[in-house]
Structure 1
Amino acid sequence: MAGNSDPLTPRAKLAVTAGKAVAAASRAAGRGSGSVIGGRVALKLDPDLLAKLAQNLDVVLVSATNGKTTTTRLIAEALRAAGPVVSNALGANMPAGITSALAGGSDAKFAVIEVDEKYLAGVARDTEPKCIALLNLSRDQLDRAAETRMLAENWREGLAGSKAVIVANCDDPLVVWAASSSPNVIWVAAGQMWKDDAWSCPSCGGVMQRPGDDWFCGECGFRRPAPSWVLHGDHVLDPHGSAWPIHLQLPGRANKANAASSAAVAAVFGVPPQVALERMYSVQAVAGRYDVVQFQGRDLRLLLAKNPAGWLETFSLIDPPPCPVILSVNARGADGTDTSWLWDVDYTRLTGHPIFVLGDRKLDLAVRLEVADQHFQVCDDLDQAVQMCPPGRIEVIANYTAFQDLRRRVGN
């Protein structure tokens, strides 16, 4: 642990050792990274292990429906300017995966941790973070977290009176309502393309008014707070009004928004915007997302989109028609088994693209595309889809487990 002023108890050390052994065995058996099963075993042996591992670290928590993994990676890169960082970079974002990540960071000064939205309050209680970044809340995994306002309420109650500095997106009314219970909030104008989860006021249920980029409730007066950090085109404006250029290798407006929030977090720890943003340039791909891979002699760009908000952002960054697009959708446990969210995605944005459809729920997607009057072909697998694609780089968009399937197939 950093400073080693409060060494782990024998029980905690045993839990860490056992967890690492189980994780190594899981990896050796070809069952993935082992971080989740290792963390579960460690927490069984010492239920307070997460708190003990976090006690000598400056902890940053990152939570959102979209952009958690990428923002966690950007913040981690920025904070490395100030000291060693431990992070759950592969996205295992529930307590077991987080415990496993922290157990591997013995020399770290900072812990930058992605947290699943449902677990944020509990992880914040255990880790006593110095900073929490809240990016957005929208519908996702309808069978598991159907009600976004309930998640916002969970955040609001769990973070009330928190000592942490909250860095929050002032353009998302649900995030603002959740963060407003905290005494120390830094507001970032990061934007919000998807607005369909925030038409009613989270405070009173009234109808939201949305003139331009502003928003307010006409009934109770709940309104958008004034930001101190602002995403403005290709720049982020800091609280002093200075404009810093955002140069990323990651594509799209959403990642510029992630970078703006990350710069605000880095500043909390004394890392200047220029240094933070320069370090973020080194991030080329995040857990396979945005990677361009060679497969069957073709260039495929792998894009993850898990819910309507994510698909909307992804459509905005794909190459223009007639670039071919492969869409893959599953509905396994990690995706959410309810695919009705497909009807909230505006697939008319793909007009002009040759579309190829695969995945466990390819027929659900085919029906949705038919109604959207899109031309598409249903394929058995990625190999067949790639063979049928016309020339040019291929954009491949998939939801969570479909994305993992594709990565395995292309050897990424």
Structure 2
Amino acid sequence: MSQLPLRAQLASALGRTAATLSRATGRGDGSVIGGRVGLMLEPDLLRKLAADRKLVLVSATNGKTTTTRLITSALQELGEVATNAFGANMPAGHVSALASAKDAPYGVLEVDEKYLPEVLDTTQAGIVCLMNLSRDQMDRAGEIWQLAQKWRRALSGKPVHVIANCDDPLVTWGASTAAQVTWVAGGQRWREDSWCCPECGGPLDRSASGAAWACRECPFRRPEPSWVLDGEDVIDPRGARWRLDIQLPGEANRSNAAMALAVTEAFWLDPARALPRLRMVTSVAGRYTMVERDGRALRLLLAKNPAGWLEAFDVADPALPIILSVNAQGPDGRDTSWLWDVDYRVLAGRPVLVAGERRLDLALRLAVAGVPFQVCDSFQQAMALVPPGRADVIANYTAFQQIRAEFGRAI
């Protein structure tokens, strides 16, 4: 790391102080306010902090925070890594992350899909990991085809190595202008946003397994992957098979781990060294954490959009009661019409309790799906109605953060 200019040093130090005060007063983890203070004093602080580091930018609709954590864990085999571990994925969060580890030679930054072009241009990161695109917070982010097009423009002509999930047609289209792409067959369970070709608008045909896809009307088709997720294993570019055995549950997290392994190889880190690090990760910013109170053990699951709910259902135990909590604050998106894209019939047959600011919206959706439920005025009431023992909790973003705060922001 080269020495920062004096102004940047001062901005970085004051930002770290603001972050520390935020944590000390219980206002938050400081990962946003610290960056905002730094950027007020030095608008070009992110560029200066990113200089001379080997950076990875991780972007997707779902799985960004988890994949960022997995990559970071693996790269710690090589040395200190700066990262925005709590999911503050816009420039202020990136400034906080890099300032808090100012001597780290490596950086892994989760990046909001909309901000990826700006952050890539500012940091000049050499590696970008792209995993999936689906509808999310439409009132803020806009149409996902527009996001994919922004990715294409941002990557075109830049000396960047992209690791991309070729099972997602929108990701493939967005990544295909990059100078170097490593394709990973990471899977795509949610396909409702990718039935049409992003290149020409024609229909996409899929193979019987659903993995291979091709446009019926133009040459756009799934590239040949170098890395392949195959059940519990990942097959590397040399044909070697690696058993994942990660502690994070579900197919989506195996996909995240496959992407992480492909990224770490770009750092010349062998899977034999990376995998033990991936297996050490048990929870990510509260996701998958088990919390206990009054004889009840609750597992916390995050689901922000229809694709995320599909993955949460894959992880949830059908034999257990389940608490669902939905808000519609700014970070969630104000519009809850996306609830109608989720197939809640999978919850039939288990006790379902509904909480959150938009509990009545969710209750109506469950009623139409024919799923019995009980509406609760608060998460605390829902928790009290769950019988002693284990239960699952699925919440969208701000509802999830409120539940974390209830248990001391369990990590």
Q: If the TM-score is normalised by the length of the shorter chain, which range does it land in?
A: over 0.9
Where does residue 285 of structure 1 map in the other structure?
283
Deviates more, 1:41-50 or 1:244-253: 41-50
Q: Does 1:138 align with 2:131?
A: no
8 Å contact kept, 2:318–2:347 = no
Which of 294, 303, 311 matches 1:313? Answer: 311
Where does residue 406 of structure 2 map in the other structure?
409
How far off is 1:82 after superposition? 1.4
Tell me how far apart the structure 2 counterparts of residues 317 and 21 of structure 1 sit (CA, whole Å): 39
The answer for unaligned runs of 5 or more in structure 2 is none
Tell me how far apart the structure 2 counterparts of residues 382 and 99 of structure 1 sit (CA, whole Å): 34
Q: Does 1:367 align with 2:326?
A: no
Tell me how far apart the structure 1 counterparts of residues 103 and 48 of structure 2 sit (CA, whole Å): 15
Where does residue 244 of structure 1 map in the other structure?
242
3-state DSSP class of the match of 1:35?
coil
Q: Quickly say closer, same or farther: Cα 1:28–1:387, change in 2 above 3 A.
A: closer
- Can you list the C-alpha shifts for 1:263-289, whole angstroms capped at 9, x where unaligned? 000000011112111111111100010
Where does residue 163 of structure 1 map in the other structure?
159
3-state DSSP class of the match of 1:21?
helix
How far off is 1:337 after superposition? 0.4
Counterpart of 2:322, as a letter, is V
8 Å contact kept, 1:35–1:97 = yes
Where does residue 36 of structure 1 map in the other structure?
32
3-state DSSP class of the match of 2:29?
coil
The answer for unaligned runs of 5 or more in structure 1 is none
Superposed, which structure 2 residues align to 1:5-404 within 5 Å? 6-212=2-208, 213-321=211-319, 323-404=320-401
Tell me how far apart the structure 2 counterparts of residues 163 and 380 of structure 1 sit (CA, whole Å): 53
How far off is 1:106 after superposition? 2.2
How far off is 1:391 after superposition? 4.9
How far off is 1:383 after superposition? 2.4
8 Å contact kept, 1:324–1:392 = no
Counterpart of 2:92, as a letter, is A
Large movers: runs of 4+ above 3 Å:
none
Counterpart of 2:336, as a letter, is T
Identity among equivalent positions (%) equals: 58
Tell me how far apart the structure 2 counterparts of residues 174 and 409 of structure 1 sit (CA, whole Å): 38
Counterpart of 1:386, as a letter, is M
Tell me how far apart the structure 1 counterparts of residues 386 and 14 of structure 2 sit (CA, whole Å): 48
Counterpart of 1:351, as a letter, is A
3-state DSSP class of the match of 2:346?
helix
How far off is 1:387 after superposition? 2.4
8 Å contact kept, 2:205–2:214 = yes
Tell me how far apart the structure 1 counterparts of residues 407 and 47 of structure 2 sit (CA, whole Å): 39
Tell me the matched-pair count. 407
Counterpart of 1:317, as a letter, is V
Tell me how far apart the structure 1 counterparts of residues 169 and 389 of structure 2 sit (CA, whole Å): 40
Tell me how far apart the structure 2 counterparts of residues 124 and 18 of structure 1 sit (CA, whole Å): 25
3-state DSSP class of the match of 1:406?
helix
8 Å contact kept, 2:162–2:180 = yes
How far off is 1:372 after superposition? 0.3
Counterpart of 1:211, as a letter, is S
Tell me how far apart the structure 2 counterparts of residues 281 and 150 of structure 1 sit (CA, whole Å): 36
Tell me how far apart the structure 2 counterparts of residues 310 and 243 of structure 1 sit (CA, whole Å): 28
Tell me how far apart the structure 2 counterparts of residues 27 and 299 of structure 1 sit (CA, whole Å): 27
3-state DSSP class of the match of 1:59?
strand
3-state DSSP class of the match of 1:99?
helix
3-state DSSP class of the match of 2:140?
coil
Tell me how far apart the structure 1 counterparts of residues 207 and 389 of structure 2 sit (CA, whole Å): 41
8 Å contact kept, 1:247–1:278 = no
3-state DSSP class of the match of 1:143?
helix
How far off is 1:320 after superposition? 2.2
Deviates more, 1:22-31 or 1:9-18: 22-31
- Can you list the C-alpha shifts for 1:357-401, whole angstroms capped at 9, x where unaligned? 000000000000000000100011222212222454100000000
Counterpart of 1:26, as a letter, is S
RMSD (Å) for aligned C-alpha atoms: 1.1
Tell me how far apart the structure 1 counterparts of residues 22 and 252 of structure 2 sit (CA, whole Å): 35
Tell me how far apart the structure 1 counterparts of residues 115 and 84 of structure 2 sit (CA, whole Å): 15
8 Å contact kept, 1:366–1:378 = yes
3-state DSSP class of the match of 2:151?
helix
Tell me how far apart the structure 1 counterparts of residues 198 and 58 of structure 2 sit (CA, whole Å): 21
How far off is 1:162 after superposition? 2.0
8 Å contact kept, 2:31–2:86 = no
3-state DSSP class of the match of 2:9?
helix
